[in-house]
Structures are given as C-alpha cells and as structure tokens.
Amino acid sequence: MSTDQGQDRTSLGVQLDNLAVAIKKLANSLIRAESAYLVESQVVNRLVSIAARIEHLKSLEEDEGEVFASLLKGITDILQSIGDVSGGGQKQSVEERAKIIRLFKMLEQETISLLPLIRSLDEQRKERKFDTFGGLLQRMVDAIQEKRHMLMRKDDK
C-alpha cells in the first residue's frame, strides 16, 4: 500500500468518526429537547445505532462499502422522517431549536467533507452498478438541508 493510500484510509477513518459523532450529537439533542413532535424516540435510537456502526467501519471496500451505503440510506430515511410526527410532545424553545439547527449544519459539513475522500471508491462502485457514495451523501445533504430549513421556518412563525 502506498503512503497516499494509507493517508487516505487514515483520513477516511477520521472523517467517518467525525460523521458518527455529528449524528450522535444530533440524536442526543433531539432526545434532550423532548422533541417528540419532530421525531419518535425509536427513530432517534436507530440513528444512534447507525452512528455506532459507522464508527466500527474500517474501510469502505467490498462488504464494508455495502454496509456504509446501507447506513447512508438509513440515515437519509430517518432525516426525511424528522418532522413527520405531529401533535404530542412539548414545543421546543428557540434556543433548543437553534441548537438542533446548528447540529444539522455540523452534520451537513461532516457529510460534505467526506465527498472528496470517496471519489476513487465511487469509480469502483460504478463498475459494479451500485449507487455511488457521492450520490448517497448528496441525498443525505439534501435531507439535512430540508430539515434545517423546516426548523428555521418554524422560528419565523
């Protein structure tokens, strides 16, 4: 393995850890804010579980790549469901909502920072007709931005 490949793997490992931390921080904030009107507790628990699985990935090659792709799809599905739960729960304070918005932004930044590191992996995936990591990450960024804007609109009301 060349030095560049070793550095890329180390950098990717750090980025995956950072992504997992950002997911956990968002999940913890959703729990602490008692945001049942935003997301159900079992969905938050699933988000924490996905973050833990991301932390244990060693690479994104072969089987672990497929696991990562599946986890990205799971995160995106969860993010898209946030805000679908109506009624019940306590309304969040402006400060709580602002914190959640900041954590969505942090998750967005960590997701975007992964994009340059996975370009070569995407080339391998294209050859096998799989979704590209870049495409999956972009869908995740879109879901994050949508929910962040949804929360900001609630502040305007």
- CA 152 to mean position of chain CA atoms: 19
Per-residue pLDDT of the chain (157 residues; tens, 9 = 90+): 444 555 556 788 888 999 999 999 998 888 776 555 667 778 888 999 999 999 888 777 767 878 888 999 999 998 888 775 444 445 667 788 888 889 999 999 999 988 887 766 666 666 665 667 888 889 999 999 998 888 888 755 5
Sign of the dihedral through C-alpha 71, 72, 78, 79: positive
| 94-127 as b/e: b if 16+ CB within 10 A | eebbebbbebbebbbebbeebeebbeebbeebee
Q: How far apart are CA 62 and CA 14, in angstroms?
A: 19
pLDDT in tens, 93-104: 778 888 888 999
- CA 24 to mean position of chain CA atoms: 9
Task: Choose the CATH number for 3-156 among 1.20.1260, 1.10.10, 1.50.10, 3.40.50.
Answer: 1.20.1260
